[in-house]
Amino acid sequence: MHFDILTLFPGLFAGVFEESILKRAREAGLVTIALHNIRDYASGRHRITDDLPYGGGGGMIMKPEPIFAAVEAILGDQLGRVPVILLTPRGRTFTQQIARELSRQRRLVLICGRYEGVDERVHQYLATDEVSIGDYVLSGGEIPAMVLVDAITRLIPGVLGEPTAPFEDSYAEGLLEYPHYTRPPVFRGHAVPEVLLSGNHAEIVRWRRQQALRLTWERRPDLLERARLTDADRAYLRQLEDERKS
């Protein structure tokens, strides 16, 4: 996967891309990331990238010319064949499903907006997709771009060492994760659940599944509607409902 990131602040990305999983994915050649400074594509002595909004009002708007020029120069004859994603609060809300969809691409362009907004012509005639990372407003699209790169990179084959067990991969998909424990067995009086020390693998699998179901039922019942559930799962959820009623 190759990411082209267009930003006015390339320096913001250094730490995130140079540690841990992203660093290893890049070193292994599984991911390449090119940071492009939009200012380099602005014309004039002052290389201005923003201007006042037509119609008045506060704030500055990012001009269309440098952003169009950057994308056209970067993509060349690949223009039109590579998704151009604008990070914006008005985009479709990013989910694991969208991460999966985007991870199948060979190349992605991410445009980070700044200030009060980006000229509407970028939204309409340059971006092929608009993504938001949630219903809140950040100072710019840089952190959202980092979120996309991280979530997508983890899904590229070979990036995470061990592929997760098929059980966790598909079956548990759509639920919150079960709780994890490591040593010591008792920490400040709080013991690790007995079943995890039992060595009974089938019991452990069952306990984890039920914990995932319980957590999801308590905190994100909306996720249960789309999760893949077995008859045993449904029976356990009915039991939780009955407990709540009594």
Q: Which residues of this chain interact with ligand ADE, rule CB under 6 A?
A: 87-89, 113, 132-134, 136-138, 140-141, 144
Nearer to ligand ADE, 118 or 213 (CB): 118
Provide, rounded to whole angstroms, the least separation between the CB of residue 140 and ligand ADE: 6
Annotated active-site residue in 120, 169, 177, 218: 169
4 is catalytic: no
Nearer to ligand ADE, 59 or 134 (CB): 134
Beta carbon of residue 104, minimum distance to ligand ADE (angstroms, whole number): 21
CB of 98 to ligand ADE, least distance (A): 12
Nearer to ligand ADE, 25 or 131 (CB): 131
What is the secondary structure of the chain as a DSSP string?
-EEEEEES-GGGGHHHHTSHHHHHHHHTTS-EEEEEEGGGG--TTTT--EEPPTT--SS-EE-HHHHHHHHHHHHGGGTTTS-EEEEEEEEEEP-HHHHHHHHT-SEEEEEE-BTTEE-HHHHHHT-SEEEESSSS--SBSHHHHHHHHHHHHTTSTTSSSSPPPHIIIIISTTSPPPP---S-SEETTEEPPHHHHS--HHHHHHHHHHHHHHHHHHH-HHHHTTS---HHHHHHHHHHHHHHH-
Annotated catalytic residue within 10, 64, 66, 89: 89
From the CB of 178, what's the least distance to ligand ADE, in Å?
Answer: 29
Given the residues 39, 121, 154, 206, select the one marked as catalytic. 154
Q: Which residue, 97 or 198, has its beta carbon nearer to ligand ADE?
A: 97
State yes or no: is 154 an active-site residue. yes
Active site residue 169: yes
Among all residues, which ones are annotated catalytic?
89, 116, 154, 169
